[in-house]
Amino acid sequence: MQEKTFWQNVLLVLQKKIPKPSFDTFFRKIEILEKNPKEIILTCPSIFAKEFLEKKFKKEILETTKQIDPKIEKIKLIISSSKNHKNQFFKRSFNNGIFSFSKSGLSPKYSFSNFVISSFNLLAGNCAKGIVENPGKFYNPFFVYSPVGLGKTHLLQAIGNEIFRKKTKKVKYISCPELTNEIVSSLRQKNTEEVAKEYKNFEILIVDDVEYLEGKEKTQDVFFQIFESLVHYQKQIVLSSDRPPKALEIEKRLKSRFEGGMIADISFPSYEERLAILEKKLEEKEGTLPYEILEFIAKNIKKNIRELEGALNFALVFFLQEKSIEKTKKKVKDHFEKKEKKPSVEEVIKKIAQFYKLQKEDILSSSRKKEISQARQVVAFFLRKKLNLSLPAIGIKLGNKDHTSIGYAIKKVEEKIEKDVNFQKEIEEIKKDFLDF
């Protein structure tokens, strides 16, 4: 088995065991460097990630690896900058004395070469390429929007990587929740000026998922200043969101800035396009599958590209074990049909109330008792993440609460998941009830 496929298989099993926040933050960035008869060598992006993984998950990784190859006795984790080809990349940027790749927030795995551009994302794809050629010139800001899993992050990252590689400019990619956290803590520590200055220094600023600005007035204010300064100096800004700017509930002046450049949406790929994406992914993973299975996946998985890739990974592992086309098809279908079912708002409230041994009425009340308000925050979090409701819509469902307080509630939950392992487990428990999301 190829190294990459082997590690993909390990990851698939690990994904079921590891809390999603940790998995998303740390595991997705691990790459396999070498597989020896008794040992595998993995790379991770930072010392922090390495220490975190060693402390918390090394045993889990080893056990899971053994499940797939019982001969493995040892896992070695190294920091990815010591990988040879990347080393050159890092050094080059250091020698230029400008900016290091590791601080850019970019992940080298997203590029244009593994991104399919076709009619469903043609405008976005072409603008992105134009930006790489002439950053800051024509499409500024560049605003991409689509529902989840259709390639926004991939495209934004590809722009950043390509500009960094070709032009050695100071590129910064950051997700909006991260940026918000940074700004909020700078407000607390009273060093907002410094943080803003740092951002005004970038030549390309890429902010993913700007819908997270909703309900965060102070952050919007600081972001507006950064934005104005960058555009003034013809530095490129790239933004993504799940909605077009006009549907975002943010300050008027910021909204009109977002609307002032180029806006492109990404729609859903057709059957032929889904097939092309699957072929590309298969090539990237260096895996093999009968074409009939690819066609089957392309025909049945329409929700988004992330799920398409999920189905492909699923089929790769299953087919490897079973070697049966029919069984694999059935397995893929069953798995994704189960996932399709979305719970209703009422079900979410009921389940979470039950979990915390409360009544539905408690959640909808305006009680500020700690256990009630925390459960309410968790409900808001799930309605946002699982059902994709807007902040105002969640406010209405939760007994006419203000959308700002809903935004705050969701942020609280996100912060707590980061900090509190027990809480993280609680959330995982609740998630299991709703299958995964």
Rounded CA-CA distance 184/421 in Å is 22
Beta strands 39-44 and 31-35 are antiparallel
Token code pair at residue 135: 């950053």
Q: Which is nearer to ligand ADP, 156 or 430 (CB)?
A: 156
CB nearer to ligand ADP: give 150 or 289: 150
CA 416 to chain centre: 18
Shortest distance in whole angstroms from residue 156 CB to ligand ADP? 8
According to DSSP, the residues that pair with 174 across neighbouring strands are 207
- How many residues form the binding site for Mg ion (CB under 5 A)? 2
Strand partners, 79: 44
Q: Write the binding mask 103 to 132 for Mg ion: x where contact by CB under 5 A, - elsewhere.
A: ------------------------------
The nearest distance, CB 277 to ligand ADP, in angstroms, is 5
Find the shortest distance in angstroms from Cβ 420 to ligand ADP.
26
DSSP three-state, residue 77: strand
Task: Kindly indicate which of the ranges 41-49, 115-123, 149-157, 345-353 contains the residues binding Mg ion, using the contact rule CB under 5 A.
Answer: 149-157
Is residue 145 within a helix (H) or strand (E), and if so which, with residue range? strand 142-145
Identify how many contiguous H helices and E strands the chain contains and give both numbers.
Answer: 21, 8
Question: Given the complex with Mg ion, which of 174 and 352 has the nearer CB atom?
Answer: 174
Q: What is the CA radius of gyration of the chain?
A: 22
Spatial neighbors of 210 by CB under 8 A, at least 6 apart, are 176, 239, 240, 241, 248, 258
**Nearest to 107, CA basis, from 163, 165, 171, 157:** 157
User: Nearest-CA neighbor of 169 among 81, 257, 234?
Assistant: 234
Phi/psi of residue 409, each to 5°? -60, -45
Within 13 A of 313's CA, how many CA atoms are on the CB side? 17
Binding residues (CB under 6 A) for ligand ADP: these are 115-116, 121, 146, 148-154, 277, 280, 305-306, 309
Q: Which two tokens stand for residue 275?
A: 């097939």
Q: Find the part of the chain contacting Mg ion (CB under 5 A) among 46-54, 151-159, 337-345, 377-385.
A: 151-159
Q: How many CA atoms lie within 13 A of 142 on its CB side?
A: 29
CB of 373 to ligand ADP, least distance (A): 30
Q: How far is the CB of 242 from Mg ion (least distance, A)?
A: 9
Can you tell me which of 153, 219, 328, 390 binds Mg ion, judged by CB under 5 A? 153
Smallest distance, Å, CB 241 to ligand ADP?
A: 10
Least separation in angstroms between CB 266 and ligand ADP: 7
Residue 151: name its binding partner from Mg ion, ligand ADP, none (Cβ under 5 to 8 Å by kind). ligand ADP
Give whichever of 162 and 309 is closer to ligand ADP, judged by the CB atom.
309
N-term to C-term CA, the chain: 30
43 contact, one of ligand ADP, Mg ion, none, CB 5-8 Å limit per kind? none
Structure tokens at 158: 């590809």
Among the candidate windows 1-9, 92-100, 147-155, 383-391, which touches Mg ion by CB under 5 A? 147-155
Which CB sits closer to ligand ADP, 179 or 398? 179
Nearer to Mg ion, 108 or 136 (CB): 108
Give the interface with Mg ion as residue ranges (CB under 5 A).
152-153
